[in-house]
Structure formats: C-alpha cells, structure tokens
Homo-oligomer: A and B are copies of this chain.
Amino acid sequence: MKRIESIQNALVKHWKKLVQTRKERDQSKEFILEGFHLVEEALKQRDSFLTLIKREDVELPSHWQTQEVQIIEVNAAVANEIAETGSSQGVFAHCKQPQSGETLQGHWKKLLLIDSVQDPGNLGTMIRTADAAGMDAVILGKGTVDPFSPKTVRSAQGSHFNIPLIRGELQEFVRQLKATNIPVFGTGLTNAVDYLNVEIEGAFAVILGNEGSGVHPELLSQTDKNVKIPMYGKAESLNVAVATGILLYTYKSK
C-alpha cells in the first residue's frame, strides 16, 4: 500500500485544493468525498473512482470491494489537510466528476431546474431529493454554487452518482423543454397559482430559485405556469429544499 506522510506532497496539495476551491474542481473535473457512507457509495462507481485515501488508524470495513482499487494510507497531518471538519472519519475517495454532458436527453420527462441556489447544503439536499423523487435529471443554472463542493457532496449523500447533473443556461433549457411539450412550472409569489391547482400528465419540469430572491423574473416570464406553496401559518416562506420535496413528490404522484 502506498503511503504519504508529507503535506508538501504534490498529490496532497491537489486533494486539498479539490476540497477548498471550485477552480481546481472545475479544471480537473475531479472531487473528494469524505466519510464511510460516501466512500462506500463511490466504490460502486468504478468509472469515476481514482483513489481511496485512509488515515493510518482507520480500519476499512471488511465487506468493501477494494481489490482493484488504489489505496493510499496517510498520517493524521495529511488527513487533516483534506478533512472538511474537525470530526473527520479519516476516509476519503478521490473521484472523477460523473459527467452528464450539457444537453437534454430525449427520454427525460421529469426534471428539476435550479436557479442561483447559494447554500451548498441546500443544493445537496435538492439533488438528493430529486433522486429520491425519481427525477430524470437536475439542471443547474450558471448562478448556482458548485455541486461538487464538500458540503454539497455531503448533503447529497451519494446522489451525485445516481442522477445526471446538467449545467448551463436555464433560459435555453426552458425553451428546449417547451419545444418538446414538457410543461415548465416556475415557483414564485406573484402571478402564481396554488401548486395543487395544476394538471400533470407524466412529464413536468419545476424551477426552484435563490434562497432570498427566488427564481429570476425573466425566467418566470418564460414558463408555462408559475406555482406557489401556500403558507398556512405565519412563516414567510419554506426552505428551498423542503419546497423542492413538496413539489416533486406532489407532481410525481399526480
């Protein structure tokens, strides 16, 4: 087993940058996953998997299939360099980012579009929710935070490997969806109908937006219909990931 003990090692510096900077992730198309659950999910993706990194005191679970996997053992100093939090489990996967291209597939009928979501945890939870709700893909507008940041990866709980993530210009995707007769529902408070008052026939796309300002007005003007989730109590709004869950599960079940 290969072993690295210096934080000056070039590979360690690369891992650290992958954890800390979007630039490194975008340029290399790689990312780091941390913790037993996520590394176990990553091990099922042999096309994406590059290296399993374990701190010297960590025992790998005996049921993990690691025969053809490169494992690098590191000391505590190196593990600390790449750990996201102080309470690290000391096990990491260095992976290629699953690539889903930048175009819609003809057989996709149910989509989540995300406009300018800024909180990495919210974005990860939305990706996880779209996966759970059986969406065919998630489309990320240019203003949205990096889906491969450590916090987003952690809150998505492995769904990065389960559902295509497409990145691009949302207005262009909305045009394409409408051209293929997939109804597009924006979310907003003005000119919006109750989310229960829409007809769904199999295919749909829903746009969720920024935590503070919502979906961009220009995008809302392009949709087939805009919907809102009523506030029955005194809260002013819902968390964007919670709203995503309510909408996707309601429309999936219609």
Interface residues of A (CB under 8 A from B): 121, 125, 128-135, 155, 157-159, 162-163, 196, 229, 231-239, 241-246, 249-250, 252-253
Contact = CB atoms under 8 A, between A and B. Distances in A.
A151 B231 CA distance: 23
Given A231-B132, A249-B229, A157 B236 contact: yes
A169 to B, nearest CB: 26
Contact of A233 (B134, B236, B241, B244): B134
A118 to B, nearest CB: 13
B159 A234 contact: yes
Contacts of A133: 232-233
A196 B243 contact: no
22 contacts: A125-B242, A128-B238, A128-B242, A129-B235, A131-B234, A132-B232, A132-B238, A133-B232, A134-B232, A157-B235, A159-B233, A163-B233, A196-B253, A238-B245, A239-B245, A241-B242, A242-B244, A243-B245, A246-B246, A246-B249, A249-B250, A250-B250
